[in-house]
Amino acid sequence: MLDPWEIRAARNAASDLAGGRVVVVTGGARRGGIGRAVADAFLRLGDAVVLSDIGTALPSHPDYPVASSDSLADGATDLRALGELITAACDVTDEAQVVRLFDIAEAAYGGVDVLVNCAGLAIGLTPVTQLALADWQVNLDVMATGAFLCAREAARRMEADGRGGRIITIASQAGKTGMPHLAAYCAAKFAVIGLTQSMAAELGEKGITVNAICPGTVDTPLLEVEGGVYEVFARAAGRTKDDYRRRLERRIPMRRLGRPDDIAAAAVYLASAAASFVTGEALNVTGGEEMH
């Protein structure tokens, strides 16, 4: 079987597409977020990117600060200077919207070579005895079911097209080690690692690799939202947010928080020919914060 990148390059040799791959990135609108950094990295390689995010309030949590439609437009303005990009609003928990997202990618570029599942949130950071069912459910809906729907649709298209591909999901160190106040988040991230392994076992013979990335504490805007990680864990420790951050940095062997670019670099690697024999992995990118 030809490497999927060779097939794509041959198919696009006479087209206007600069790079050899088409990359779908979900959860990519938020400035300073992992999804935006992933899109940036692939564009700099000359790939075409379909950038997606929900763009509207969560029905179950209308006050949660999701990336708005303006954020998606803002991302397009910034990133189009780097290369070929289109945007598409998509609620990853809605099966029909996920199908439409991949239809848009196929209509624009003829197929999909790489999916990077970045859609995520931080809701219900509380002791499990106080965890509301709605908070539990939205974590599973967005980060587990959403990853499943997108990965399944990508796999269907890649398998039908016969050129292989790469499916990458942003999991977490919290998908390997349970953490207090993160029961719903951990459950969703543990779930996507299991999904990754099952899909890898099924799809390897089709030339499709399926991997997860497990970031540690990454310095993104989600850390700072009301009720977010800094606030919750600092309060539990009886410290200010700044003091909590300094102590956290000292606990990480690399002595700093992760950056979105660190995670994007891992996605680029897993999507590359260098990782053609890597599948079913949950790759820690934590500065040593997680070693399991």
Which residue among 64, 109, 185, 230 is the active-site one?
185
What would be the CATH architecture of the domain defined by 19-218+259-285?
3-Layer(aba) Sandwich (3.40)
For residue 185, indicate whether it is catalytic: yes
Domain boundaries, the chain: 19-218+259-285
**Which pLDDT score is estimated for 238?**
86
pLDDT score at 19: 55
Question: For 213-226, how does the pLDDT look when each residue is reduced to its tens digit (9 = 90+)?
Answer: 999 999 998 777 76
So what's the pLDDT on residue 17? Answer: 44
d(CA 11, CA 8): 5
What pLDDT is recorded for position 228? 73
d(CA 66, CA 77): 19
Say how far apart CA 237 and CA 227 lie, in whole Å: 15
Q: Which pLDDT does position 233 carry in this prediction? A: 80
- The stretches in the chain having pLDDT less than 70 are 1-19, 226
The pLDDT of residue 78: 86
Residues 25-50 have pLDDT tens digits of 999 999 899 999 999 999 999 999 99
Q: Which two tokens stand for residue 106?
A: 């196929």
| Closest to 291 (Cα-Cα) out of 176, 168, 169 | 176
- Report yes or no: 177 and 126 within 8 Å, Cβ to Cβ: no
Helices (H), the chain: 4-11, 34-44, 69-79, 95-109, 133-139, 146-161, 183-203, 229-237, 241-251, 260-270
Q: What gap in Å lies between CA 140 and CA 93, rounded to an integer?
A: 10
% of the chain exceeding 90 in pLDDT: 77
| Each residue's pLDDT tens digit, 171-225 | 999 999 999 999 999 999 999 999 999 999 999 999 999 999 999 999 998 777 7
pTM: 0.92
CB-CB contact of 142 with 135 (8 Å) = no
Q: How many residues does the chain have?
A: 292
